[in-house]
Amino acid sequence: MFKKAIQNSTDEIVEKVTAAIDAKVTAKEMDEAVDKIADKVSEKVAAKVTDEVIKKVTDQVTKQVSDQIANQVLELLSKAAKNPGDTLINKLGKRLP
């Protein structure tokens, strides 16, 4: 009977230790999986932010250049109306790079 009690206690300890080891391995695996997911999400967010920033900057530069060209065309049209002897094409050719 005493041997049986010792065996039962030993079995119980082994089960608890095994369960604790399994839990730690599982927790470690879960942490690693969460880290991998977080890394991938961070990369995608960074890529998206970068794409959005590039698009905003490109849109802003395009708008500024378009506005400058439109202003130059309006200025040339205004001057052409005052001085009809010089053609618009000649003026555009002189003003645009």
At 46, give phi and psi (nearest 5°): -60, -45
Residue 58's identity, in one-letter code, is T
pLDDT in tens, 26-79: 777 778 888 888 888 888 888 887 888 888 888 898 888 888 888 888 877 777
Q: Report which of 88, 86, 60 is spatially closest to residue 74, judged by C-alpha positions.
A: 88
Where are the domains positioned within the chain? 2-95
Alpha carbon distances (Å) from 29 to 19, 23, 39, 42? 15, 10, 15, 20
Distance, in Å, from the CA atom of 41 to the CA atom of 34, rounded to the nearest integer, reads 10
> Tens of pLDDT along 53-68?
888 888 898 888 888 8
Q: Tell whether pTM > 0.85.
A: no
